[in-house]
Amino acid sequence: MTTVGFVRHGVTAWNKQGRAQGSTDIPLDEEGIQMAVHAAERFAADNWDAIYTSPWQRAKRTAELIGQEMTHAEVIEDRRLRERAGGLIEGTTEADRLAKWGPKWKQLDLQGETHESVITRGMSFIEEMQERYPDGRVLAVSHGGFIKRLLTELLPGTTYEEPLGNTSLTIVKIGEHENLCELFNCTDHLQQLKS
């Protein structure tokens, strides 16, 4: 059974402003770097075989900081883990979208990547991890929108309304016939930053 730990990247300035990032390559801010350092300290205590990361710098930097604590695990860039491209909404806030396209903006074709495209590349990644690490543990550092979409595919019948926290860890055991969510949206490692 392959275990995949999904990690959302650390926080960015656009996260704080409520701006859609998508494929826009926004870096971590100072707080995001600190979040990643705390995540790294926590994950280092676990036994992970490899760290895969989206190429967008907010995820890649998070993965690199985790990799500094887990020197036995290689950091590998994988384009399949990138965030869903947001099309025309990238860089906008909810207020911007309401002003520009009205309250039904989500029903419009705003040239974002389709759900099917995200799932196709996400499941391709999962299948490769099952082949490479049949009894292994892999961290996948990615993005909130991508991770949530993939979770709905891996865990049918489940809905996750709450947003994924920055540097949160969600662990899914990938079985032959059924998958199991062992941990969801855990940010215990950030308690020091909150106090």
For the chain, percent helix, then strand, then coil, each to nearest 5? Answer: 45, 20, 40
Could you say which of 83, 90, 143, 189 is catalytic? Answer: 83
Q: Provide the residue range defining the domain that includes 72.
A: 2-194
Percent of the chain at pLDDT > 70 equals 99
Q: The domain that contains 49 carries what CATH number? A: 3.40.50.1240
Q: Provide the residue count of the chain.
A: 195
| 179-188 pLDDT, tens digit each | 999 999 999 9
**Residue recorded with tokens 């759900």:** 115
- CA separation for the pair 195, 87 (Å, rounded): 38
Active-site residue, 189 included: no
Does residue 83 have an active-site annotation? yes
How far lies 156's CA from each of 22, 145, 152, in Å?
24, 17, 6
Catalytic choice (9, 38, 143, 189):
9
Domains contained in the chain, number? 1
pLDDT at 194 over 80: no
